């Protein structure tokens, strides 16, 4: 096995922190340096093997910042505990790649990076929605191939959303932001499924509906439906924003795809395995008016056979959160999580995360997902 090359920042720091990929920006390095950390950053773009990570962590390490592409399972946490690691932070808001229970059993706090991905991911879901519905990628290719010989009444007909119904599965931060963008921007009605009602979202759309009525326009409405199936049946565009775990694996499978309108649009910026991708290929092959916009894939980075050949699927490489501000913010939050725990500081209790993104940061860990279990 070739050892990965490492960049070392603040070599005289007394606390050793390993970071498994170069991260954007410099604020995160300032935070770790101010916390007396020697930061060892594994270079390269490929997905690291567990052996490479283990070799870099070595016999003694205090903290780790890892990636969503790595499996931080019970064996990896046992390895971290043996090395004396006192905190792990995912460089992501999602942490389905982390065995939080195993980390908790070993008293290792697990951090994540909420709050800075919300608008970026929601905006990207909107971008995919329109790329899919208005056939932007197909039309772009058509232009580049020199096939445009003149305006035609039937060229690249797509879907109009104005006044139609948008559905979301999962009405947390990102789902609600996407829903508001679609409802406000395109005067759509919203249907959603979530185990818990999002009362803030419902009140927001009710107020917006009242505003539309005051302008002599039809009110936009919001309905929380009893089942995922009900949402699938109603939605002209459906966007997934739910957590991925065993209970949501293949949430969208062949029978559910069959419930959707034949010309519906399906968007996934959450996690690939929420959709049975092989079933989606079959569905899109049989229903050319059905369209999908995918940011994430079941066997990421691989695609299921046939997916890349479908003209009615728009695909991008897991970039929904890829704005400079967001990715630098994620780095700051991950660094603050590690720095705070290593300094014995308390955990933020749901407060604003913006003060952690620049300059001198609050003396708190911004987001530790097992804080309650660990009594932090």
Least Å distance between CB 213 and ligand DGY? 37
Question: Which of 329, 365, 326, 361 lies closest to 345, judged by CA?
Answer: 365
Whether residue 40 contacts residue 17, with contact meaning beta carbons closer than 8 Å, is answered with yes
Among the listed residues 17, 37, 87, 92, the single contact to ligand DGY using CB under 6 A:
92
Least Å distance between CB 2 and ligand DGY? 28
Q: State which residue, 94 or 172, has the beta carbon closest to ligand DGY.
A: 94
Residues 28/30/31/37 CA torsion (nearest 10 deg): 110
Least Å distance between CB 272 and ligand DGY? 10
Which distant-in-sequence residues (6+ apart) come within 8 Å of 257 by Cβ? 266, 279, 280, 283, 290
Indicate which residues carry an active-site annotation: 271, 300, 318
Which distant-in-sequence residues (6+ apart) come within 8 Å of 370 by Cβ? 100, 103, 104, 109, 110
Q: Which stretch binds ligand DGY (CB under 6 A): 45-53, 87-95, 280-288, 335-343?
A: 87-95
Least Å distance between CB 325 and ligand DGY? 13
Least Å distance between CB 170 and ligand DGY? 13
Among the listed residues 39, 68, 108, 281, the single contact to ligand DGY using CB under 6 A:
68
Which distant-in-sequence residues (6+ apart) come within 8 Å of 282 by Cβ? 254
Helix (H, G, I), strand (E, B) or coil at 263: coil
Q: Which stretch binds ligand DGY (CB under 6 A): 27-35, 92-100, 183-191, 198-206?
A: 92-100
Question: Across the chain, where does the E strand assignment appear?
Answer: 6-9, 15-19, 37-42, 63-66, 87-90, 110-111, 165-169, 189-193, 222-224, 237-240, 265-268, 291-294, 313-315
Q: Residue 321, interface with ligand DGY (CB under 6 A)?
A: yes
Among the listed residues 25, 63, 66, 94, the single contact to ligand DGY using CB under 6 A:
94
Site for ligand DGY in 112-171 (CB under 6 A): 117
Q: Which stretch binds ligand DGY (CB under 6 A): 89-97, 145-153, 213-221, 222-230?
A: 89-97
Instruction: State the residues that interact with ligand DGY by CB under 6 A.
Output: 68, 92-94, 117, 320-321
């Amino acid at each position: 096995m070739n050892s990965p090359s490492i960049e070392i920042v603040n070599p005289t720091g007394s606390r050793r922190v390993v970071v498994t990929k170069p991260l954007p920006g410099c604020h995160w390095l300032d935070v770790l340096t101010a916390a007396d950390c020697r930061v060892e950053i594994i270079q390269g773009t490929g997905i690291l093997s567990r052996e490479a990570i283990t070799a870099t962590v070595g016999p003694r390490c205090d903290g780790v910042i890892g990636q969503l592409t790595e499996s931080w399972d019970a064996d990896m946490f046992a390895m971290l505990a043996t090395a004396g690691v006192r905190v792990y932070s995912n460089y992501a808001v999602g942490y389905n790649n982390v065995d939080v229970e195993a980390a908790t059993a070993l008293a290792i706090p697990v951090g994540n990076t909420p709050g800075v991905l919300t608008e970026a991911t929601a905006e990207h879901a909107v971008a995919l929605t329109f790329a899919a519905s208005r056939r932007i990628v197909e039309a772009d290719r058509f232009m580049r191939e020199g096939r445009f010989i003149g305006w035609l009444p039937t060229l690249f007909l797509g879907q109009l959303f104005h006044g139609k119904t948008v559905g979301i599965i999962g009405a947390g931060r990102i789902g609600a932001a996407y829903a508001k963008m679609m409802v406000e921007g395109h005067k759509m009605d919203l249907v959603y499924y979530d185990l818990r009602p999002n009362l803030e979202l419902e009140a927001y759309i009710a107020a917006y509906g009242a505003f539309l009525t005051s302008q002599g326009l039809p009110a936009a409405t919001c309905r929380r439906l009893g089942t995922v199936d009900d949402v699938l049946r109603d939605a002209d565009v459906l966007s997934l924003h739910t957590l991925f775990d065993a209970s949501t694996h293949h949430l969208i499978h062949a029978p559910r795809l069959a419930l959707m309108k034949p010309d519906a649009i399906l968007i996934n910026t959450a996690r690939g395995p929420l959709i049975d991708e092989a079933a989606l290929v079959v569905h899109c092959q049989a229903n050319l008016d059905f369209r999908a916009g995918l940011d994430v894939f079941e066997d990421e980075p691989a695609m299921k056979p046939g997916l890349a050949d479908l003209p009615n699927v728009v695909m991008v490489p897991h970039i929904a959160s890829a704005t400079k501000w967001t990715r630098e913010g994620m780095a700051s939050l991950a660094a603050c999580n590690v720095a705070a725990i290593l300094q014995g500081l308390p955990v933020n209790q749901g407060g604003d995360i913006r003060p952690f993104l620049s300059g001198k940061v609050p003396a708190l860990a911004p987001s530790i997902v097992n804080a309650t279990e660990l009594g932090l």
